[in-house]
Amino acid sequence: MLTQKMKYALKALMELAAERAGEGQPLRIEEIAKRSGTPKRFLEHILLEVRNAGFVASVRGRHGGYALIKDPREVPLSELMRLIDGPIAPLPCLSRRAYQRCDDCPDEEACRLRKVFGQVFWSYLLLIDSLTLADLVGTGESSDPAAAALQLGV
């Protein structure tokens, strides 16, 4: 499940992607908040994280604001999810980047929880890893079956 913080981040990035495709001007944080329906106080923290990760740039000055510096097709949703919310695996022993052995598990190879949730998670991961910001903004540039599934609500 996406957290509210993640939804705010995605909505803000969708606005920046749309602006990049249009006029290409940086957007002030107030404008991003208004367009995306995101509270400004949350957005400031979110955009700082996303900026530090290299997806957006902040531009100073009278015509300053935030701008998406990567092509939306180069912004993986799975990377954003990990950035904003941390590990996405349902169990710590299934995480790629934050692996931890479960304290209550004497044998990972025989663990039924790990096996069943691992199968579900890897299917989920294949789909999530294939999605980008371009799939959310509906640029029509994605030829990925995952994008079609997303549009159909699958």
CATH code, domain carrying 59: 1.10.10.10
Instruction: Give the per-residue pLDDT at 149.
Output: 54
pLDDT tens string, the chain, 154 residues long: the values are: 789 999 999 999 999 999 887 677 899 999 999 999 999 999 999 999 999 999 999 988 887 899 999 999 999 999 999 999 999 998 888 888 888 888 888 888 889 989 999 999 999 999 999 999 999 998 555 545 555 455 545 4
C-alpha R_g of the chain? 18
When divided into structural domains, the chain yields a total of 2
Instruction: Give the per-residue pLDDT at 23.
Output: 72
Whether 79 and 47 share a structural domain: no
Whether 86 and 138 share a structural domain: yes
pTM (2 d.p.) = 0.80
Whether 42 and 86 share a structural domain: no
Domain edge (last residue) among 23, 39, 68: 68
Whether 89 and 142 share a structural domain: yes
Closest CA to 67 of 19, 137, 139: 19
Whether 36 and 107 share a structural domain: no
Closest CA to 14 of 52, 42, 55: 55
Domain edge (last residue) among 68, 84, 110: 68
Domain edge (last residue) among 18, 39, 68: 68
Whether 122 and 92 share a structural domain: yes
Q: Locate tokens 């499940």: which residue?
A: 1
Domain containing 19 equals 4-68
Instruction: Give the per-residue pLDDT at 141.
Output: 53
Instruction: Give the per-residue pLDDT at 109.
Output: 85
Query: How far apart are the C-alpha atoms of 52 and 58, rounded to whole Å?
Result: 10
